[in-house]
Amino acid sequence: MLNWGSWIPSWWAIGPYTGKETAGLVVWLGTWAILHWTLGRIEVKLKPWTIGFAVAFIVNLIILWPTVYHAILWWPSLPNTLPGGEG
């Protein structure tokens, strides 16, 4: 992965992250090209996609709120699992 990102400026200071960035860029460009080729001539209705995105975004915000995910994972009511019962 380190050699893949050698085209990025200051790549040696970032390390293997540059290769991961390059792989992500290649996947994104490939996916964009495939979707452009398959959906290029289709008129997509934007309103249902916008509503779906907004609902999913709000649900994700609620689930990531600490009081909600603590309740989902039962964090306050979990028994002490440390060795020896410390904590």
DSSP code of residue 15: T
On whether the CB atoms of residues 11 and 5 are closer than 8 A, the answer is yes
pLDDT tens, residue order, the chain (87 aa) = 667 777 778 777 877 788 888 899 999 999 999 999 998 888 889 999 999 999 999 999 998 888 888 888 877 666 666 666 555
Q: What is the rounded distance in angstroms from the CA atom of residue 30 to the CA atom of residue 23?
A: 11
Find tokens 């609902």 and name the residue. 55
Structure tokens at 58: 């709000």
Q: What is the rounded distance in angstroms from the CA atom of residue 11 to the CA atom of residue 2?
A: 8
Q: What is the structure's pLDDT at 24?
A: 92
